[in-house]
Structure 1
Amino acid sequence: MTMRTLREEERTFFEREGYLLLKSFYSAEDIAKLNDAYWEIWKQLMAEGKIMQAPNRPFDSLFPRLRDYHWENEEILDFILEQQVIGLLQELINEEILVCQTSYYFKAPGAKGLPMHQDNYSIGASPDTTYAIWVSLDASGQENGGLQVVPGSHVFDILSPEIVPERINVYGKQINIPDGYEAIELPTEPGDVVIFNGNILHGSTDNTSTNQFRRAIVTHYARQSVEKITLNYSNLVLPNRERTRRRLNAEPRVVETKDTLFEFKDAKFFDQIINRQSKG
């Protein structure tokens, strides 16, 4: 891990644009260790028959998003709670953080990009918003589905995606970028870090390459002063690794499952978590 301190111009840039790119933050050894941890998880899921190949997506369907394995894997927890990284985020927001969620993306050749969205649309952290630390685990760019952001859009309120035909967007929903704003590509190398605000519009392009993965891990954090959060993000972790809870956001935009990006009211664990919340 390269020792860094936050420069005043970086703080100013983050406050103005809603994101901050830090180059060469993690070492090759750090990245290899994390990828190895997820590779072991992937192999176990394959051995248990929990990953199924889709005939219309024979390659990328074998490499789904792996969500929230930090709950049961100490190496992943070590990575997302690395003190220098969360220290920079805490310095940016002037408050200590909670871990809300992790997602590891293989982004195999042929994988579709994510349409423009705002993270706090689904996470529902209130008051304030969420904050993401996105770590590039492969070289990424437009060809293999790199990260895109809309600078300055973090000042927007939470927007509702528009319903569109699947021929326009495979997810059936999208947010159109308002006039006066433009998406930009953030080419990255392994070990680069992007920190961004939970209201900023961001997404990614399709992986149109034939042989390049675009692995990345994104961790969503909230301020410790957050009062409410959406159902499926309520298993929160403090920097000291203790688990904590916040009140349930009773008016979520969506309730998310692992099977889709935006709309879910039928999570298999919905009733179980509601019962735990009511008893707690």
Structure 2
Amino acid sequence: MTRALNVLNEEQINHFLKEGYLIVKGLFSKEDVRTIEEKFEEISHQVIPGLFEPDLNGSTDDPLKRYPRVMHPHRFDETAKQYMLHKPVMEVLSDLYGEEALAAQSMFYYKPPGSRGQALHQDNFYLQVEPGNCIAAWTAIDAATEENGGLLIVPKTSEHEISCPELADSTESFTTHYVKPPKDQKAMPVIMDKGDVLFFNGNLIHGSYRNKTKDQFRRAFICHYANASATHISNHYRPLHRQDGTLVDLEINTDGGPCGVEFDMAYPH
């Protein structure tokens, strides 16, 4: 029996299940994007200890020191929390999960001109959602292209087991972990317009290019979610939120995963 869907169709569901990802065009309105732009422009001039610590003195040549990613902005900003729980996103997630989604994490990437990319990796290596999986909702605040550091994905790797990463090339990646794609499978660029949202499975191998432009940011608002039937998640992502904002406290996942418990699980993601 075909289950009832809220906003997606069966073709979209099947694409997500087969390929591990789904792009929903224009899910964020122009007004939504403008609100997010303005809020994170404001945040870019602040220091939020432990969550956003930019170099406001211009003492480094690394553009990511001036514009690092903002971790968990929903924990200190109501606009970020509002868009993490954005109804159109939560409706898509409900269709993809077949049940309610719980919001676990928010992030904002400025990706300034000249900045390094992020080596290929898998999200559920860090979130450790069990049983089930995490899903990312990656919203383009600027158009994402190959030139300005758009996302790379390896299709059909959503069924690929979570792997213990190798060491990434620090000259091209600002994170230290690298997951090698399976043999004969290659990363492909995801070209997106402002307001598009890319949803992808927590096992899908993905990363990003360096921003090769001299004058373009590639801003993105990125959130991660767990299925409501999950019982465990990594401690970094607790507590979680239902769409109405109420808190959910899953158990801490103490399983060391494919690298063992001694591996540094401080998420670089």
Bucket of the pairwise TM-score, normalised by the shorter protein:
0.7 to 0.9
Give the alignment partner of residue 199 of structure 1, picking from 203, 209, 212: 203
Shift of 1:72: 2.6
Provide the aligned C-alpha RMSD in A.
Answer: 2.0
The 2-side partners of 1:106 and 1:145 are apart by 11
Give the alignment partner of residue 106 of structure 1, picking from 110, 128, 133: 110
* Structure 2 equivalent of residue 256 of structure 1: 266
The 1-side partners of 2:168 and 2:189 are apart by 24
Q: Which moved more, 1:66-75 or 1:204-213?
A: 66-75
Aligned length: 253
* Structure 2 equivalent of residue 97 of structure 1: 101
What do residues 157-215 of structure 1 show as CA deviations (whole Å, max 9, x unaligned)? 10111135645756443111111312111111100110110110011000011000000
Unaligned ranges ≥5, structure 1: 263-280
What do residues 112-170 of structure 1 show as CA deviations (whole Å, max 9, x unaligned)? 11111000101111112100111000011111100111110000110111135645756
The reply on whether 1:240 has 2:244 as its aligned counterpart is yes
Which amino acid in the other structure matches residue 150 of structure 2? G
Q: Describe the shift of the 1:227–1:24 C-alpha distance in structure 2 as closer, same or farther (beyond 3 A).
A: same
TM-score normalised to the size of structure 1?
0.84
Give % identity: 30
SS at match of 1:154: coil
Which amino acid in the other structure matches residue 88 of structure 2? Q
Residues 261-280 of structure 1: pairs in structure 2 closer than 5 A: 261=268
SS at match of 1:79: helix
What do residues 80-120 of structure 1 show as CA deviations (whole Å, max 9, x unaligned)? 21222211111111010111101100000111111110001
Q: Which moved more, 1:200-209 or 1:84-93?
A: 84-93
Give the alignment partner of residue 13 of structure 1, picking from 12, 15, 18: 15
The reply on whether 1:159 has 2:169 as its aligned counterpart is no
SS at match of 2:119: coil
What do residues 239-261 of structure 1 show as CA deviations (whole Å, max 9, x unaligned)? 1101121111112454326xxx1
The 2-side partners of 1:98 and 1:165 are apart by 34
Q: Describe the shift of the 1:229–1:184 C-alpha distance in structure 2 as closer, same or farther (beyond 3 A).
A: same
SS at match of 1:20: strand
Cα pair 1:156 1:200 within 8 Å, conserved: yes
Cα pair 1:122 1:252 within 8 Å, conserved: no
Q: Describe the shift of the 1:252–1:100 C-alpha distance in structure 2 as closer, same or farther (beyond 3 A).
A: farther
The 1-side partners of 2:145 and 2:111 are apart by 12
Cα pair 2:116 2:173 within 8 Å, conserved: no
Quick check: which one's helix share is greater?
1
The 2-side partners of 1:168 and 1:104 are apart by 20
Residues 44-123 of structure 1: pairs in structure 2 closer than 5 A: 44-45=46-47, 50-52=53-55, 53=58, 55-57=60-62, 59-123=63-127
The 2-side partners of 1:165 and 1:84 are apart by 37
The 2-side partners of 1:148 and 1:68 are apart by 23
Unaligned ranges ≥5, structure 2: 1-5, 258-263
The 2-side partners of 1:42 and 1:167 are apart by 24
